[in-house]
Amino acid sequence: RRGGARRGRPGIRAVVLPSLTRPSAVNLRRSGRSSIIASSGKQVVVGGEVVYTTMDDEDVLASSGGDAIGGGGVFASDARKSLEKVDPTLRTDLMSSATVMSQVMDQNAWERHRSSLRFFRVFFNVFSSTVFKRIFVPSLLPVAIAVATCLLGWPVKPINALPFSIGGGLVSFMLVFRTNSGYGRFVEGRILWGTMLNTLRDVGRVAATYSTPSTRMLAMRVICLAECFAWLLKTHLRQGRTVGFGKHSLPEDKDTATPRVIEAMKPMGEAGAQDIKRLTEDCPHGPLICMILLTDACKKLIEEAKLPFDAATELQKYIQILGGCLGGSERILKTPIPQSYTRHTGRVLMMFLCSLPLTLTPVMGWSVVPAVFILSYALMGVDEIGIELEEPFATLPLAPISTTVRNNLKSTRELMMEGI
């Protein structure tokens, strides 16, 4: 799963990807080299019954000398489709193909990101840009008006450009405000999930450190429920879309945490069956129910293990922080930037672009057509980026963050069972 340079050969870097798909192997070709996603099946049994089939430990995508997933690497379309199976509710149509799964970066990815060759790379890949694809059709309206003015030869004289000079400044201000507001929401969403990750680590740390041989199963329940919270919050924020375009209009895009909850509670054996039932069967609010169960598990651990006052206070504080992360995420999801501002920005931008040919055609002739298209792409692209950032949980790397929670708490459990 991790490789290093050997006998002059390039090192193999691996990226862990959670998967609940059937065992498969997909050959990926990139830059003359090949990568492979490989998995082997394993069954999860709860109460003597096979619940579902999962991977051995995790799926690993190893790229020989290439860029890591989430690190800004370039991927073939097969890789994109494979990653969509890993996290089907991730809106890859809103993301650059270079960040397919997430925007979790490593040092190699930052080097590529800072490369001065990025100008050539992004320029020649413009037609594969998700922003370009999404705004291509709307940008055709100003272009059509430009073509019409050229064909009709009207207006004969250019209209006074002063209104466009004033309007250009207004449009720029509106777009900057729109994009900054969307980026602020994106950053806040990422901060909330970073806080959740750190808090769940702390919950596991305190539970494992203060547990005794007689209370390890109580601590195990705390750690397992902490992992469940991450998957349940991810599902809660991606409840599926029943309207839209393309494949993302299908109701089966609804996320589900049931397999992940079952896998997280597996170390509890039969003792975790009741918690699994409460978190998966007709659960109206998964994260809230999980917090209640987690509070109950902490309470029993505090009482049985006779935790010191400061440790008990820390556990209760961590649960409160998790509640804040849940509430903050719901606020971002359910409260968009005032829609009147979004609509007004779109209307003003479209009127500005559609009226540009009236003053440019008499001066530029047919060259106004590509000029209007480029201006439409530039201005509409800024507005589109603001829209994409406004609802961050569609594109934030929620699955990799939840996987990090799983891996960290798994290590915590192993240390606890070894007696630390």
Q: Are 218 and 301 in contact (CB under 8 A)?
A: yes
The model's pTM is 0.77
Flag whether pLDDT at 270 surpasses 60.
Answer: yes
Split at pLDDT 50, 70, 90, the class of 68 is: very low
Split at pLDDT 50, 70, 90, the class of 112 is: confident
> Where do we find the tokens 């293990």?
305
Cα end-to-end distance, the chain, whole Å: 25
Task: Measure the CA–CA gap between 287 and 293, rounded to whole angstroms.
Answer: 10
Split at pLDDT 50, 70, 90, the class of 256 is: confident
Please list, in sequence order, all residues whose beta carbon lies within 8 angstroms of the beta carbon of residue 45, skipping any fewer than 6 positions away: 51
* Cα distances (angstroms) measured from residue 147 to each of 24, 168, 347, 356, 372: 51, 22, 21, 12, 10
Top pLDDT among 79 and 296 is at: 296
Which tokens in the block code for residue 248? Answer: 């993302």
Q: Are 33 and 244 in contact (CB under 8 A)?
A: no
Q: Are 178 and 279 in contact (CB under 8 A)?
A: no
pLDDT tens per residue, range 363-418: 999 999 999 999 999 999 999 999 999 999 988 889 889 999 999 999 999 999 99
Q: Are 207 and 223 in contact (CB under 8 A)?
A: yes
pLDDT tens per residue, range 222-254: 999 999 999 999 999 988 655 554 544 444 456
Q: Are 354 and 142 in contact (CB under 8 A)?
A: yes
Please list, in sequence order, all residues whose beta carbon lies within 8 angstroms of the beta carbon of residue 148, skipping any fewer than 6 positions away: 357
Find the range with the poorest average confidence among 162-166, 221-225, 311-315, 320-324: 162-166
Most confident of 40-44, 123-127, 139-143: 139-143
pLDDT of residue 248: 46
* Cα distances (angstroms) measured from residue 368 to each of 80, 148, 154, 363, 380: 37, 11, 13, 9, 17
Q: Are 18 and 255 in contact (CB under 8 A)?
A: no
Find the range with the poorest average confidence among 25-39, 69-83, 119-133, 242-256: 25-39
Percent of the chain with pLDDT over 70: 72
3-state secondary structure of 16: strand
